[in-house]
A and B are shown apart, each in its own frame.
Chain A
Amino acid sequence: EPEVTQTPSHQVTQMGQEVILRCVPISNHLYFYWYRQILGQKVEFLVSFYNNEISEKSEIFDDQFSVERPDGSNFTLKIRSTKLEDSAMYFCASGSINIQYFGAGTRLSVL
């Protein structure tokens, strides 16, 4: 069964460093999403991406964040200068406008 894959599963970084989280969405999906879940809190929407551009973003998704679909298979989330409060589980999802299928997540730890 096709699935959304995310790498790495765990990323540890120093405050102020740039990180890139990678995702391979399900191949025939057209909509791509990033969410995050801070420990003990609910899953929060960051950004959606369709037709090679951002279709919606939340207030969390500020200038420190960017997304890219560099080729036909990968979808990346970049955080330019990480802060302690960026520590969270980051989920990639792909699907339609109605149903989203999630990857296993990347746990980002900012020290």
Chain B
Amino acid sequence: EDKVVQSPLSLVVHEGDTVTLNCSYEVTNFRSLLWYKQEKKAPTFLFMLTSSGIEKKSGRLSSILDKKELFSILNITATQTGDSAIYLCASNSNSGYALNFGKGTSLLVTP
């Protein structure tokens, strides 16, 4: 059975800190790994990563996947209170269409 495990489950930081969120995966016939930000409403797509190992960046957020160690990290630099959310990691397999989600990391950025 495919597995996605996120750590930590929750995190509290001060504005301006840098955070690293972790996602490990065990996926048969791996296609990609996706990161989403979930605030009160829709999970918002952040990044898709493949076994190419290419780092993805968008502003203060970046993410990379290690295909040998089977994990991905999401980095947020110079955190702001608006970064407070649940960050979801999900795997995608070539065997089907479903995203398999982890339990998420709840990030709280305090002023």
Residues of A within 8 A of B (CB): 3-4, 31, 33, 35, 41-45, 48, 50, 55-56, 58, 91, 97-105
> What band does the interface of chain B fall in when counting residues whose beta carbon is under 8 Å from A?
20 to 34
Contacts of A101 in B (CB 8 A): 45
Q: Are B102 and A99 in contact (CB under 8 A)?
A: no
Contacts of B104 in A (CB 8 A): 42
Residue of A nearest to B102 (CB): A42
Q: Are B48 and A4 in contact (CB under 8 A)?
A: no
Interface string of B93-111 (1 = CB under 8 A from A): 0001111111110000000
User: What would 24 A/B residue contacts be, using CB atoms closer than 8 Å?
Assistant: A3-B42, A31-B97, A33-B97, A41-B103, A42-B101, A42-B103, A43-B43, A43-B99, A44-B101, A48-B96, A55-B97, A56-B96, A58-B98, A91-B42, A91-B43, A97-B97, A98-B48, A98-B92, A101-B45, A102-B36, A102-B44, A103-B42, A105-B41, A105-B42
